[in-house]
Homo-oligomer: A and B are copies of this chain.
Amino acid sequence: MKEAQIQLLETYMSLYINHSVVVEYLDQPESPYVILDVRNAPAAVKKDQIKGAIAIPARNLEQVLDTLNKSKTYVVYDWTGGTILGKQALLILLKHGFDAYELAGALEGWKGMNLPIESLT
């Protein structure tokens, strides 16, 4: 069982990128990262988002894949780390050959560390 545990944890952890890596490139035009806000809620409900994020609801992602750039690394996030939209988006991106990660801690963790956000209203 220990081998299966380690294998699961290693694969699971490999899906995530730490906020500290992402925030370092925020606002840099040459950033290798593109942050995708994949929440399905309308802007009025979302109220704010990670600074510079592009809003592509998870339910629409498959339809707009040809607008994305395969030379970038996509970082997706949902409201919290306990939801599944981030993983749904990540699965779509990985299956289509994109470099992609889920943001560890999601939006909740980002805000909890007072990292830059922007208003949507």
Q: List residues of chain A with CB under 8 Å of any chain B CB.
A: 1-2, 4-16, 80-84, 87-88, 90-91, 94-95, 104-106, 108-109
Indicate which residue in B9, B87, B105 contacts A94 across the interface (CB closer than 8 Å): B9
Interface pair A106/B94, CB less than 8 Å apart: no
B83 touches A105 (CB 8 A): yes
Q: How far apart are A72's CB and chain B's nearest CB, in angstroms?
A: 17
Chain B residue nearest in CB terms to A109: B83
Contact of A9 with B15 in the complex, beta carbons under 8 Å = yes
Whether A88 lies near B8 (C-beta < 8 A) is no
Given contacts A8-B11, A9-B91, 19 further A-B contacts (CB under 8 A): A4-B7, A4-B11, A5-B11, A5-B14, A6-B94, A8-B15, A10-B91, A13-B84, A13-B88, A13-B91, A80-B80, A80-B82, A81-B82, A82-B83, A82-B106, A82-B108, A83-B104, A83-B109, A84-B105
